[in-house]
Amino acid sequence: AQKITQTQPGMFVQEKEAVTLDCTYDTSDPSYGLFWYKQPSSGEMIFLIYQGSYDQQNATEGRYSLNFQKARKSANLVISASQLGDSAMYFCAMREKISQGGSEKLVFGKGTKLTVNP
Amino acid sequence: NAGVTQTPKFRVLKTGQSMTLLCAQDMNHEYMYWYRQDPGMGLRLIHYSVGEGTTAKGEVPDGYNVSRLKKQNFLLGLESAAPSQTSVYFCASSFGGRDTQYFGPGTRLTVL
């Protein structure tokens, strides 16, 4: 079963508008972490924002905010005031335990391609 | 700080050839990881290391070996490359097992 689901293969937004990228997750672990990464056409993976399962407030980092709805198991990324440079693939990821020793890996969704139009 | 670096950036191999990908980090991170990214998919964990001298298998370890002789370096080896190993390989590192992972720029490998 897919643990991270990104239902939007592609999204379009006008420059300066806000856009929401969807992410739902599945886990039975009460302690987990959710990440969003940006992958521009140049290929690197850039960390954007993190939300811990016990965090009381939604995470924010500049123009990025995470709309965390724990009961719905969703962690949507909101980008405000879109810029042309925001055009990229966006991946939602969740920490998942590898072993009892505390090691964890990231489980990724398939990504959403965001295109910002001028 | 350079962060996480990977060499080479691109490589083309013939089936059966061997090669080593090098990952280096200058953030004094304990944990290092190798992922692969295939078209239409997110990243999948190949191998990881929780500290110098340690390695462990991820979810897709077959056909790969790794070594972590120095804390700052994590090597990924392909002993006999196969076309199924054509992919983009990413190295990542983190301070602890539950901390944010920071990625290198990736290595695009093609096996003919």
Q: Which parts of A23-102 are beta strand (E)?
A: 24-25, 33-39, 46-52, 60-61, 64-69, 74-79, 88-97
A78: distance to nearest CA of chain B, Å? 20
What confidence category does residue A96 fall into, taking pLDDT thresholds of 50, 70 and 90?
confident
pLDDT per position as a tens digit, A34-65: 999 999 999 899 999 999 999 989 999 999 99
pLDDT per position as a tens digit, B64-85: 999 999 999 999 999 999 999 9
User: What pLDDT shows up at residue A101?
Assistant: 60
**Burial, A69: exposed, middle or buried (Cβ in 10 Å; 0-12, 13-18, 19+)?**
exposed
The helix/strand count (H/E) of chain A reads as 0, 12
B31: distance to nearest CA of chain A, Å? 9
Q: How far is CA B68 from the centre of its chain?
A: 11
Per the CB < 8 Å rule, is B50 touching A103? yes
Mean pLDDT of chain A: 92
| % of residues, chain A, pLDDT over 90 | 81
The stretch B95-100 carries a mean pLDDT of: 86
**Cβ neighbour number for residue B41 with a 10 Å cutoff:** 13
**Cβ neighbour number for residue A8 with a 10 Å cutoff:** 15
Per the CB < 8 Å rule, is A110 touching B40? yes
* Closest to B110 in 3D by CA, of B81, B79, B74, B77: B81
Task: Return the higher-pLDDT residue of A103 and A43.
Answer: A43
- B63 pLDDT higher than 80: yes
What confidence category does residue A99 fall into, taking pLDDT thresholds of 50, 70 and 90?
low
The three-point CA angle A7-B39-A26 to 5° equals 35
Which H or E element spans position B13? strand B10-13
**What type of residue sits at position B61?**
P
Per the CB < 8 Å rule, is A33 touching B98? yes
Q: Tell me which of A4, A5, A36, A106 to substitute to probe the interface with B (most B C-beta atoms closer than 10 Å).
A: A106
B96: nearest CA partner in chain A = A103
Residues of chain A with Cβ-Cβ distance to B42 below 8 Å are: 4, 91, 93, 107-111
Per the listing, tokens 């301070």 go with B95
What confidence category does residue A102 fall into, taking pLDDT thresholds of 50, 70 and 90?
low
Q: For residue A46, what are its two tokens?
A: 């850039």
**Burial, A3: exposed, middle or buried (Cβ in 10 Å; 0-12, 13-18, 19+)?**
middle
A6: nearest CA partner in chain B = B42
Which H or E element spans position B20? strand B19-25
Q: What is the DSSP letter of B68?
A: -
What confidence category does residue B27 fall into, taking pLDDT thresholds of 50, 70 and 90?
very high
What confidence category does residue A2 fall into, taking pLDDT thresholds of 50, 70 and 90?
low
Interface check for B95 against chain A (CB to CB < 8 A): the answer is: no
The stretch B50-71 carries a mean pLDDT of: 94
The stretch A78-101 carries a mean pLDDT of: 90
pLDDT per position as a tens digit, B15-25: 999 999 999 99
